[in-house]
């Protein structure tokens, strides 16, 4: 499950798709259908992915399911974002 393999992705979705206090999902506004009930399908999937990731970590299996090249690629993307200017432009290398 890709969502469980990428560090922080499930956590970001969980943080975004929260209850608005009225039983609706804050992260899923729709102009045509309104906000879906909380928890939405994205939140349910993210919760499951976070649980799977915790299990992999607890069992010491995370390194076998997440190739090092993915981790290196994500780290490089984070560095590029940190180096981007105020306007979001990427640095020229």
The answer to whether the beta carbons of residues 2 and 66 sit under 8 Å apart is no
Higher-scoring residue by pLDDT: 45, 89: 45
Contact 56, 62 (CB under 8 A): yes
Of 25-29, 62-66, 68-72, 83-87, which gets the smallest average pLDDT? 83-87
Q: Torsions phi, psi of 24, nearest 5?
A: -115, 155
pLDDT band at 93 (very low <50, low <70, confident <90, very high): very low
The model's pTM:
0.66
């Amino acid at each position: 499950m890709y969502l469980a393999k990428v560090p922080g992705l499930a956590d970001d979705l969980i943080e975004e798709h929260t209850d608005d206090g009225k039983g609706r999902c804050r992260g899923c506004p729709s102009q045509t259908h309104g906000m879906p009930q909380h928890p939405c399908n994205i939140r349910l999937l993210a919760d499951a992915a976070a649980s799977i990731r915790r299990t992999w970590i607890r069992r010491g299996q995370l390194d076998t399911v997440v190739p090092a090249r993915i981790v290196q690629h994500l780290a490089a993307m984070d560095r590029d974002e940190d180096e981007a200017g105020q306007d979001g432009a990427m640095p020229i290398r």
